[in-house]
Amino acid sequence: MNSARFSIVTLVVLLLMASVSYALTADEIIDKANQASYYAGKDGRAMVKMTITAKGGDVRIREFAQLRYNEENGDQKFYTYFKAPADVYKMAYLVWKNIGRDDDRWLWLPALNLKKRIAPGDKRTSFVGSDFLYEDVSGRSPEEDVHTLQEETDRYYRIDNVPKDPGSVEFSHYVVEINKATFLPMIARYYDHSGKIYREVEALKVEEIQGFPTVLVSEARDLVSGSVTRNEFSEVQYDIGLNSRIFTERFLRRPPREVQ
Amino acid sequence: MKHWVLALVLVMWASVAWGWQLHGFVDGRSGMRLQDDDVERQAILNELRLQLDLNHMSDLAIWQFRADLVGDEAVGESEQDLERGYGVLDLREANVLLTPFYFLDVKLGRQILTWGTGDLLFINDLFPKDWQSFFIGRDVEYLKAPSDAAMFSFYPSWANVDVIYVPQFDADRYISGERISYWNPMLGRRAGAQDEMVVDQRGDWFSEDEWHVRVSRNIEGIELAAYGYDGYWKSPQGVDALYRSYFPKLRVFGASVRSSFAGGVANVETGYYDSREDRRGDDPMVPNSELRALLGYEREIVRNFSAAVQYYLEYMQDYSAYRRTLPTGMNARDEDRHVVTLRLTRQLLNQNLELSLFTYWSPSDRDSYLRPHVKYKASDAISLYLGANLFFGDAPDTFFGQFENNTNLYAGMRYSF
């Protein structure tokens, strides 16, 4: 009896020691960052204001509400409801993100009362004309890159990511700094094939909401064109009890109250 | 009556309200024919349009009003007609959407209705189309004309079921010569603004009506649907004993599938057109029954450039009876009408410039219709447009060939608020 208790205690202590001293691998860090960035809670909602400033000072604004729902198997559903500019007012964009196969995407055109299916398409395409890409919004699969831990300080992990299929992307590699406390990526720098940084995505303001560290201001900068897009998130909530039925045609026709 | 109004107001304000929203746009457009047309003016479109979109959302109801005020110098028609879309007011939407039960939505009033999988080709979508707007360079949203209808959408766990009742038949805003010249088989020539078309409109409420039904289901991104329609042909394709054009009875049954496929999206749709007044196909004054089908595929070719192709078939039933009874001197159509469409879309300048081309080409009719279009978003509020409607044909009486003299170029500007 005593020896049994002793061995259990020893085991627990040993395990604790192991987890403290055992350094995370680059793949584990990226997985945790992916969870922290895109999977917080069972579901979530945010109001987004996107300000696109071109090099010459021309400013364009997009405002939308976004709902997210996590499935058990890692699949996700996104509902984006546009409020501005006026020519896209009441349009809705529905994405079923499927792990391991193409996403299903639909665009709701209210003037035509039409649910238009969108071909899967390149995820490295600009999201609504901004400097953010579809992949920045819904997440890049960790499976698509080879990750190497370059540096570990007391504040962050710096990880280099090299695409497994270089033909599918415009960068040669990107380096991301991940906060050790929150596992949120704070800055990602994208390198072109000559080794120059041409694009940056940065988290400018992080706050804890319902226990989840949350990016409230982020910025994407195109260093070649000089264009900068800033995203400001407000009314962020997690675990609001969204029903997966919201992510269907019925609620494209009749926007749910959560987007108002 | 007063109680009813009071109850309505209470329902609107007692519910958790998100308030009224007002949006809209001012759109100016001008278009002209690129060749002479003996029976029409050179100007095809010279309009200024104000659209107001007013809506109110709450937990209990969504109210939606959308109306256009239109002034058009190139107009042939002038009397106010909300069905045909003539006159100063074009009422697009005036409806309320209610959810009386968790499994049921009801939308009552004037509304735009759309379903089916075709891209600018319609088999099971028998809601009214405005071909005139489509051909003269208005925004593509005007291809859909409104219906005065009651839509009941049931959401049991196994499918979505939509049942739509239209108490008074809504025809297409078909080509009748005011702006667009067309082939008139009775006259044996192209007809225009001076050739009045006598059409029996079928306007009897609750007896000359329409039913539309769709049962649809989305299984892991594979969209399946079955459709039914009981009403009339949407353009006046029949000729009665008094030599008036009219809308013969029609039933349609169909189905469609749409899914991601090979890095793109594929769709298949089919429908059987049961022309109830000519089931043997031997009445030359009423269209024969038809089988219609389409097959489509769309994908991105490279970043910001996508292509879509469709193949479409109209197969006429009882073709030999049609040929046998066709009046002498009238050109016979083919048993099969094939149409191939191609859509190319290129996005440039951070998606602020869009170049697109949509083409219809019929190898059987030997005619085609091209819709090149350029849209530039100069700012969040201002968009500029340039486009053309180009018709080509070997014969004057084929679907697109008849419109050859209407080939036009248009430019426009829209301020959205």
The answer to whether B114 contacts A113, with C-beta atoms less than 8 Å apart, is yes
Predicted pLDDT of residue B338: 97
Smallest CA–CA distance from A170 into chain B, residue: B303
Q: Say what the ipTM of the complex is.
A: 0.89
List, for residues B280-331, the tens digit of each pLDDT value.
999 999 999 999 999 999 999 998 999 999 999 999 999 999 999 988 878 8
B 162-181 near A (Cβ less than 8 A): none
Contact B153 A121 (CB under 8 A): no
Task: Provide the shortest C-alpha distance from residue B211 to chain A (in Å).
Answer: 18
Q: What is the pLDDT of residue A119?
A: 87
Shortest Cα–Cα distance, A172 to chain B (Å)? 17
Q: How far apart are CA B339 and CA B256, in angstroms?
A: 18
Q: Cβ B303–A60 below 8 Å, yes or no?
A: no
Q: Which of residues 111 through 140 in chain B touch A, CB cutoff 8 A?
A: 111-114, 117
Q: Does B364 touch chain A (CB under 8 A)?
A: no
Predicted confidence at residue B197, as pLDDT, reads 78
SS3 content of chain A, % helix, strand, coil (to 5): 25, 45, 35
Q: How many contacts does A have with B, using Cβ atoms within 8 A? A: 106
**What's the CA gap between B1 and B17, in Å, rounded?**
24
How far is residue B247's CA from residue B115's CA, in Å, rounded to a whole number?
A: 22
Which positions in chain A touch B62 (Cβ < 8 Å)? 254
CB contact under 8 A, B114 and A114: yes
Q: Which of chain A's residues have a Cβ under 8 Å away from the Cβ of B223? A: 117
CA distance B344 to B335: 30
Name the residue among A182, A228, A253, A122 with its Cα closest to residue B160.
Answer: A253
CB contact under 8 A, A60 and B379: yes
Contacts of A126 in chain B (CB under 8 A): 350-351
Among residues A170, A157, A220, A165, the alpha carbon closest in space to that of A196 is found at: A170
Residue whose entry in the numeric block shows the structure tokens 């060749």 = B35
Q: For residue A83, what are its two tokens? A: 């409020």
Distances from the Cα of B195 to the Cα of B133, B184, B243, angstroms: 20, 9, 14
Per DSSP, B64 falls in state E
Check if the beta carbon of residue B147 is closer than 8 Å to that of residue B110.
yes
A257, B60 Cβ separation under 8 angstroms? no
Q: Does any CB of chain A come closer than 8 Å to the CB of residue B62?
A: yes
Closest C-alpha to B333, from B397, B239, B247: B397
| B contacts of A245 (beta carbons < 8 Å) | 155
Distance, in Å, from the CA atom of B411 to the CA atom of B31, rounded to the nearest integer, reads: 6
Q: Does B300 touch chain A (CB under 8 A)?
A: yes
List all residues 6 or more positions away from B178 whose beta carbon is below 8 Å from its beta carbon: B75, B76, B77, B132, B193
pLDDT recorded at residue A236: 96
What's the pLDDT score for residue B128?
96
Give the lowest-confidence range in B65-69, B77-81, B207-211: B77-81
Residues in chain A closer than 8 A to B267 (CB atoms): 117
pLDDT at residue B6, rounded to an integer: 65
User: How many angstroms separate the CA of residue B380 from the nearest CA in chain A?
Assistant: 6
Q: What is the pLDDT of residue B13?
A: 54
Question: In this structure, is the dihedral angle defined by the CA atoms of residues B142, A89, A253 and B298, taken in order, positive or negative?
Answer: positive
End-to-end alpha carbon distance in chain B: 36
| Domain residue spans of chain B | 2-416
Question: Is there a contact between B59 and A260 if contact means CB atoms under 8 Å apart?
Answer: no
Residue B105 in contact with partner chain A when CB distance is under 8 A: yes
Peptide bond into B327 cis (omega under 30): no
> Letter for the amino acid at B284?
P
Amino acid at B260: S
Task: Give residue B81's pLDDT band: very low, low, confident or very high (50, 70, 90).
Answer: confident
Average of pLDDT values for B30-54?
91
Give the torsion sign (CA, A201, A203, A209, A210): positive
Q: Which amino acid is at B8?
A: L
Closest-approach residue (CA) in chain B for A110: B112
Exposure of A42 by Cβ count < 10 A (0-12 exposed, 13-18 middle, 19+ buried)? middle
- Overall CATH class of domain B2-416: mainly beta
In which residue are the tokens 């009874």 written?
B325
Residues in chain A whose Cβ is within 8 Å of chain B: 52, 54, 58, 60-61, 84-87, 89, 96, 98, 101-102, 104, 109, 111-114, 117-122, 124-126, 128-130, 227, 245, 248-250, 253-255, 257, 260
Å between A224 CA and nearest CA of chain B? 13
Interchain contact, A257 vs B18, CB within 8 Å: yes
**B114/A255 Cβ within 8 A:** no
Return the higher-pLDDT residue of B44 and B13: B44
DSSP string, B213-263: EEEEEEETTEEEEEEEEEEE-SS--EE-TTS-EE--EEEEEEEEEEEEETT
Q: What is the pLDDT of residues B104-128, one digit of tens each?
A: 999 999 999 999 999 999 999 999 9
Per-residue pLDDT tens listing for chain A (260 residues): 455 566 766 766 665 555 554 688 999 999 999 999 999 999 999 999 999 999 999 999 999 999 999 999 989 999 999 999 999 999 999 999 998 888 899 999 999 999 999 988 788 889 999 999 989 988 899 999 999 999 999 999 999 999 999 988 999 999 999 999 999 999 999 999 999 999 999 999 999 999 999 999 999 999 999 999 999 999 999 999 999 999 999 999 999 988 88
Predicted local confidence at residue A91, as pLDDT: 95
Q: Shortest CB distance from B263 goes to which of A112, A120, A260?
A: A120
User: Hey, are the CB atoms on A125 and B304 less than 8 Å from each other?
Assistant: yes
Q: Report B:343-362 residues touching A (Cβ under 8 A).
A: 350-352
Are the CB atoms for A61 and A50 separated by under 8 Å?
yes
B77: pLDDT strictly greater than 80: no
Higher pLDDT, A260 or B94: B94
Residue A227 with chain B: CB contacts under 8 Å: 350
